[in-house]
Amino acid sequence: MATGFFWDEACFWHGGGHYAFTHPVGGWVQPLVAGGLPEAPETKRRLKNLIDRSGLSKELRMSGADPVTWSDMRQVHPEHFLQEFKRLSDSGGGEIGDQAPFGPGGFEICAQSAGLVKGALFSVLTGQTANAYALSRPPGHHALPDHPNGFCILANVAIAAECAMAEGLAGRVAIIDWDVHHGNGTEAIFYDRPDVLTISLHQDRNYPEDTGAYTDRGAGPGEGFNINIPLPPGTGHHGYLYAFEQIVRPALDDFRPDVIIVACGFDAAIVDPLSRMMCTAETYRQMTRSLMEATEEHCEGRLVMAHEGGYSEFYVPFCGHAVLEEMSGSTITVPDPLGETYDARQPGPRHDAMVEAEINDIAAHVLPQG
């Protein structure tokens, strides 16, 4: 079976409103020449362009998907929120959260974005594809049930997971979030649930500044099923792989999921404007390889990537291509044009040792002992 790739032109048409970087225009904030939020269509469009140009898309199962239904959205979001979102969307757009504006038709575009993730997940769970990638936009991992924030309006991954579990296609879902920002929305939705393991690797106190502590472990029956791995700025390639080795893989081995979904942000990359984490395309390739090994051990290779953040138009496509090369096992490769330069800029042994010590401390608090 081939790797699925789910995309839709409508997702490139989502609008960010009158923002300059992450701040509304006005007062002392002058509009940018390009305008809008960093969460712009070109990072995603250029990933699609690159897999077409390299020929990789010919080896993937390219597909669209139906938008999620109102009933699907109600699995996560309350009626009053959906009604207000639809009203504003039909009235020309607006904003009902923090840093999550939308234009006319935003409701339908968000439903399409979530639909791509649901389509990718269902294709894997029903055996239509070996694994799958959803080029979803806008992203979703910050979206709380009734409060959009951080460019996210609907909780794409959570909606897809809830739909799959409701239909009996999965009983235990692991969600790995390697977006550089804490997956506060996904965490909140599943915080008291023992059937969903949520793991977020993120730059400590980047966004949101007040969530993502490793002491936040879940509540009630969900205690122990939420794992935060707040990493120091400048963590780099070695630190991310060490966190996978010391925390992510052991947690997955203990949980034994039916499927792994990745909130696949590329904003921990070395040139991203919203982070300082030093990852490279090779980092994402090797994290993907680690998760593929985990899915082979626990859930017959069932792995789904849902595109989240990543704001370098130049570099996101190379990170995404590396992930898709690994997922598909293709012999088509696109070398990282700045791979050697970025490798040379990685932190040195003293910094790596400091990061390892922090990760070991987190592991001691979040993993079962003995």
- CATH number, position 222: 3.40.800.20
**Cβ(243)–Cβ(286) below 8 Å:** no
pLDDT band with cut points at 50, 70 and 90 for residue 33 = low
The domain containing residue 238 runs over which residues?
Answer: 3-17+35-366
Mean local confidence (pLDDT), 153-176: 98
Structural domain total, the chain = 1
What pLDDT is stored for residue 262 in this prediction?
99
What pLDDT is stored for residue 23 in this prediction?
83
What pLDDT is stored for residue 18 in this prediction?
78
What pLDDT is stored for residue 34 in this prediction?
65
3 state DSSP class of 199:
strand
Give me the helices (H) in the chain, please. 41-54, 70-74, 79-90, 106-125, 156-166, 184-189, 236-243, 249-255, 281-298, 316-328, 339-344, 349-366
Task: State CA 283 to chain mean position distance.
Answer: 15
- pLDDT at residue 370 greater than cutoff 70: no
- pLDDT at residue 217 greater than cutoff 70: yes
Mean local confidence (pLDDT), 304-311: 98
pLDDT, tens only, 277-298: 999 999 999 999 999 999 999 9
Residue 192 lies in a domain: yes
Mean local confidence (pLDDT), 128-140: 98
First to last CA, the chain: 40
pLDDT, tens only, 223-246: 999 999 999 999 999 999 999 999
pLDDT band with cut points at 50, 70 and 90 for residue 25 = confident
Mean pLDDT, all residues of the chain: 96
Residue 361 lies in a domain: yes
**Cβ(68)–Cβ(163) below 8 Å:** yes
Mean local confidence (pLDDT), 145-158: 98
Which tokens in the block code for residue 303?
């792995």
What pLDDT is stored for residue 46 in this prediction?
98
Mean local confidence (pLDDT), 54-75: 98
What pLDDT is stored for residue 37 in this prediction?
84
The DSSP code for 330 is -
Residue 28 lies in a domain: no
Residue 22 lies in a domain: no
Mean local confidence (pLDDT), 105-114: 98
pLDDT band with cut points at 50, 70 and 90 for residue 304 = very high
Phi-psi region of 257 (alpha: psi -120 to 50; beta: other; left: phi over 0): beta
CA distance 259 to 236: 27
**Active-site position among 141, 142, 238, 307:** 142
- Residue type present at position 288: T
- pLDDT at residue 14 greater than cutoff 70: yes
Residue 23 lies in a domain: no
Residue 27 lies in a domain: no
Residue 25 lies in a domain: no
- Residue type present at position 221: P
What pLDDT is stored for residue 20 in this prediction?
80
What pLDDT is stored for residue 142 in this prediction?
98
CA distance 87 to 81: 10
- pLDDT at residue 86 greater than cutoff 80: yes
Residue 127 lies in a domain: yes
Task: State CA 186 to chain mean position distance.
Answer: 10
Which tokens in the block code for residue 295?
């899915």
Q: Is 142 a catalytic residue?
A: yes
pLDDT band with cut points at 50, 70 and 90 for residue 154 = very high
The DSSP code for 137 is S
